[in-house]
Amino acid sequence: MPTLTGLRRERAHASKQFHDGAFRNPTGPRPGLKGNPLPILGEFFFGGRARVPSAPLPVESPLDAWTRPISSGLRITWLGHSTMLIEVDGLCVLTDPVFGDRASPVSFAGPKRFHRVPATIAQLPPLDAVLLSHDHFDHLCQSSMREIAKLRVPIVTSLGVGVHLESFGVEPSLITELDWWEEHTLPGGELSFTATPAQHFSGRGIGGRNTTLWSSWVVATKNRRLFFSGDTGLTDAFGEVSQRFGRFDVVMLEIGAWNQAWGDIHLGPANALKAFEMLGGGTLMPVHWGTFDLALHAWDEPAETLLALAEPAGVRVLTPMLGRPFEPDHVERPHPWWRTLKDRVPVGVPVPTP
């Protein structure tokens, strides 16, 4: 496990989020598991929910669409989980790149993806930056980052995470690490990133828990402003984000890998809608679902529950198909593509209580 040294260590220890040898959440130490773990273990081993789809999910190739002009100035391609290609005002940003088959430290075990990757790293358009929210395996993929390192693309990430990136072969000069509320603007001044608070934790194995920071993110150009949650539970800090930055063109929030027992560190559908309201509303794009089995719910339950809650509330939700580039300005309603599979969760699934 790489350890923080030198200037990286000094910056971490100087952070307002760092106390007693570890980073803390906005509300204090990392929340733990709630309640008796035995029912959770029983559900994990014997639960009857369809946590994995019965067949590979439908995926479109984005390659032809990426060659076409963008009329609105903003196009997003969901590549699975929290990996998105964001094309904004002529610039390309890749978020939390996970192109490997498993969200795991090893290639032979761990959560395996439900679908093929819509495009390989080699097939991506030229990247201007990679945005990396935190160091968990389903967000920071070693094999993906080793390949990206060869492209010599600037990488913006949370404080301390660069220690992993350097061990994967990324040149230190390409890494920018931010503490909460710090901003970095790419050369040319056309694209900026601001790390904002998130309610989560970090670590990639035994030891090293919470020695690197986790963040949500504001991505901004002169004409557009986007919010990307990374991994987070509900936090009052979202209200301050809205006060500082105003309304966002698109709010990308995690909705999967949720359970009431760990509801303080993941949003889930109900709290995603609360976070969305705190962030000023607008357009909600749910991410962090439909690629890996990381919880106890059915694989499509997060999306179904979100739509069941959002529709009566009049919330504008966009659910693009995997690999299909879309311009949010030109899409009016969600596309429930997952309902083409036979084992989907019925509409009206019981809504979990936060």
Per-residue model confidence as pLDDT tens digits over 301-350: 999 999 999 999 999 999 999 999 999 999 999 999 999 886 544 444 44
Burial (CB count <10 Å: 0-12, 13-18, 19+), residue 205: exposed
Q: Is residue 111 part of a domain?
A: yes
Token pair in block for residue 290: 């439909």
The residues, any chain, with a CB within 8 Å of residue 32's CB and separated by 6 or more, are: none
Q: How many residues are listed for the chain in this entry?
A: 354
Is residue 276 scored above 90 in pLDDT? yes
> pTM of this prediction?
0.93
Confidence of residue 260 (pLDDT cuts 50, 70, 90): confident
Q: Is residue 27 part of a domain?
A: no
pLDDT, residue 36, reads 52
Q: Is residue 18 part of a domain?
A: no
Q: What is the mean pLDDT of residues 189-210?
A: 93
Is residue 113 scored above 90 in pLDDT? yes
Separation between Cα atoms, residue 79 and residue 81, nearest integer Å: 7
Mean pLDDT score of the chain: 91
Q: Is residue 292 part of a domain?
A: yes
Q: Is residue 256 part of a domain?
A: yes
Half-sphere exposure of 336 (CA within 13 A, CB side): 17
How many separate domains does the chain show?
Answer: 1
CATH of the domain at 229: 3.60.15.10
pLDDT, residue 32, reads 56
Q: Is residue 345 part of a domain?
A: no
Separation between Cα atoms, residue 207 and residue 8, nearest integer Å: 18
The H-or-E segment that residue 308 falls in is helix 301-313
Separation between Cα atoms, residue 211 and residue 69, nearest integer Å: 42
Q: Is residue 67 part of a domain?
A: yes
| 3-state DSSP assignment of residue 19 | strand
Could you list the residue range(s) of the whole structural domain that residue 103 is in? Answer: 41-340
Q: Is residue 13 part of a domain?
A: no
Backbone angles phi, psi at 184, to 5 degrees: -130, 130
